Amino acid sequence: MNIEDINIEKELKIIFMGTPEFSVPVLDALHKKYKVRAVVTQVDKPVGRKGIIKKTPVKEYAEDNTILVLQPEKIKDSVEEIIALEPDLIVTCAYGQILPKELLDYPAYGCINVHASLLPKLRGGAPIHRAILNDYKETGITIMYMAEGMDDGDIISQSKIEITDLDTASTLHDKLSELGSKLLIETLPSILDGTSTRTPQDEKEVTFGLNIKRDDEKISFSKTKRQIYNQIRGLNSWPGAYCMMDGKILKIWNSRITDNYYPEKFDGEITNIYLDGIGVKVSNGEIVITELQLEGKKKMLAPDFLNGLDKKSLIGKILN
């Protein structure tokens, strides 16, 4: 299909591909401005202990706004169905699958992706978590033309945001989702009128923000207090960093760092009970657990967790 054949005001056909909550504000901004013809999202999956099937957030939005929904298990098996919708532009945001070349080549205006990092930094499925885990001081949004590899296409536009020490993966997620919505709407006119730039990514600068694995969640108190602090906030609010306490999983949701140092104590040893939390010795000092969740219990602030417990008996206990 040729760009010259399209009347942008009347005939522009946009397909949006996305899955999680992060994608919804981006879809909302796009739909309000241009009207989305259809969404492609991952299949609904069971959630929780009862295994209740839950719609993806993008599907919920689409149904609420009477947008056609496609949910192929494998995108490569639905290429013809998507092409039959004659998309002029495909916009993806945290969809979760790599698009086949036949689909990438079809839209007159191309396939563009809204990615939650400053590419070529943090290619992959967990750039928000990894930005905090890796102690980055800034991150951002990249709008890019899609290619056959993972997040390796040419950059169209970028917008930066500071990562503060109080940010968690949850707060950064929300900031970047809104930033992505804004940047997409600012960038689309140049894509549609043919004035957008294309900047190849510098392969020497590539890093990866690969999906979080179970090993990433386990806290090792032999690490530095900064590393552990970043791990806790980088996995909040999903999936959560954890250690073991008396043979039970103890998820740690929030913490703070102190200047205390205990060379005579073991890594993971409880050092102090503070008004706001539980002090634990780490390789180069102390970290204070301020919000936690013991296996089988609800999430709570540390002072609430400590109510009714013999606080003195906790001193010296080892978390591992």
Domain with CATH 3.10.25.10 in the chain: 214-314
On the question of a cis peptide bond just before residue 189, with omega within 30 degrees of 0, the verdict is no
Q: Is the pLDDT of residue 6 over 80?
A: no
Per-residue pLDDT, 1: 44
On the question of a cis peptide bond just before residue 239, with omega within 30 degrees of 0, the verdict is yes
CATH number, domain 3-205: 3.40.50.170
- Using a pLDDT cut of 90, give the percent of the chain over it: 91
pLDDT digits (tens, 9 = 90+) for 46-83: 887 778 899 999 999 999 999 999 999 999 999 999 99
Per-residue pLDDT, 50: 77
Per-residue pLDDT, 9: 46
Q: Which CATH superfamily is domain 214-314 in?
A: Formyl transferase, C-terminal domain (3.10.25.10)
- Mean pLDDT for the stretch of residues 188-211: 96
What counts of helices (H) and strands (E) characterise the chain? 11, 15
Strand partners, 301: 291
- pLDDT tier at 12 (50, 70, 90 boundaries)? very high
Per-residue pLDDT, 230: 98
In single-letter form, the type of residue at position 26 comes to V
Per-residue pLDDT, 11: 76
Dist CA 176 CA 18 (whole Å):
15
Average pLDDT, the chain: 94
Dist CA 65 CA 12 (whole Å):
18
Domain with CATH 3.40.50.170 in the chain: 3-205
pLDDT digits (tens, 9 = 90+) for 17-55: 999 999 999 999 999 999 999 999 999 988 877 788 999
pLDDT digits (tens, 9 = 90+) for 228-264: 999 999 999 999 999 999 999 999 999 999 999 999 9
pLDDT digits (tens, 9 = 90+) for 78-109: 999 999 999 999 999 999 999 999 999 999 99
Is-contact 49 116, C-beta < 8 A? no
Dist CA 78 CA 84 (whole Å):
10
Q: Is the pLDDT of residue 5 over 60?
A: no
Q: Hey, what's the torsion of the CAs at 130, 181, 193, 124, to 10 degrees?
A: 20
pLDDT digits (tens, 9 = 90+) for 110-165: 999 999 999 999 999 999 999 999 999 999 999 999 999 899 999 999 999 999 99
Question: CB under 8 Å to 8, separation ≥6 — which residues?
Answer: 192
Kindly give the residue spans of alpha helices, DSSP state H, lying in the chain.
Answer: 8-11, 23-34, 57-64, 79-83, 101-104, 127-133, 169-192, 214-217, 225-234, 302-306, 311-314
